[in-house]
A and B are shown apart, each in its own frame.
Chain A
Amino acid sequence: AQSVTQLGSHVSVSEGALVLLRCNYSSSVPPYLFWYVQYPNQGLQLLLKYTTGATLVKGINGFEAEFKKSETSFHLTKPSAHMSDAAEYFCAVSVGSGGGADGLTFGKGTHLIIQP
């Protein structure tokens, strides 16, 4: 079974500063990795995903993440935070080619706070 650990339930950064949200996964087979974002009172939307190929993936709104197999990590970064980035961020892992419970396992989420 796979699992996801997100370090830090809350992360606070200043506007314009680097954003770094940490995600580590556990999987016995090569995983698919995802970041989802949830804005207040909204559903989740896909930010970016890694399946195969290039280990640095770029997503929407200037976010990117790098898959590091040796570190079992998939940290999310953005060079310069904007007030509109304030949201809940979820890392997720999948090892299944189908759906179901092995479709996606989510971390507990990291609440990103942007200080003006």
Chain B
Amino acid sequence: GAGVSQSPSNKVTEKGKDVELRCDPISGHTALYWYRQSLGQGLEFLIYFQGNSAPDKSGLPSDRFSAERTGGSVSTLTIQRTQQEDSAVYLCASSLGTFTGELFFGEGSRLTVL
């Protein structure tokens, strides 16, 4: 596609439920990033993919969070047994792979856990 596409744009769920957030990067971009944006907290790095592998999972906040990427393209971020503190905007970004600092961001998925 022309840009990074994320779905759903908004998700309201009940505490304890599992959620899946999807990211479709720009075609040809080998690197894919997930960030979490909370009010007043800036962007928190979660995980990075190069192709289908994730060399850096250091930012995942707990073992309830996992992510995968298939076919070097679409990525899914899964949050199990959601908690209220998981409420945030989850941003996905992609880049060409050789790091130039230009990440292309999607519009984000806003998660609200009641």
Residues on A facing B (Cβ under 8 Å) = 9, 32, 34, 41-46, 49, 51, 90, 92, 94, 96-101, 103-109
Contacts and interface: CB of A to CB of B under 8 A. Distances in A.
Contacts of B103: 44, 46, 103-104
10 contacts: A43-B105, A44-B105, A46-B103, A49-B102, A99-B31, A99-B97, A100-B48, A103-B48, A104-B45, A106-B42
Contact of A43 (B48, B50, B95, B106): B106
B33 A99 contact: yes
A107 B35 CA distance: 13
Nearest to A33: B101
Contacts of B100: 49, 51
Interface residues of B, number: 29
Interface in B65-114: 91, 93, 95, 97, 99-108
A109 B42 contact: yes
Contact of B99 (A45, A103, A107): A103
Given A90-B42, A90-B43, A106-B35, 5 more contacts: A9-B40, A34-B101, A45-B104, A101-B45, A103-B101
B48 A51 contact: no
A99 B40 contact: no
A66 to B, nearest CB: 17
B47 to A, nearest CB: 9
A89 to B, nearest CB: 11
Contact of B107 (A42, A49, A90, A94): A42
B99 A98 contact: yes
A101 B48 contact: yes
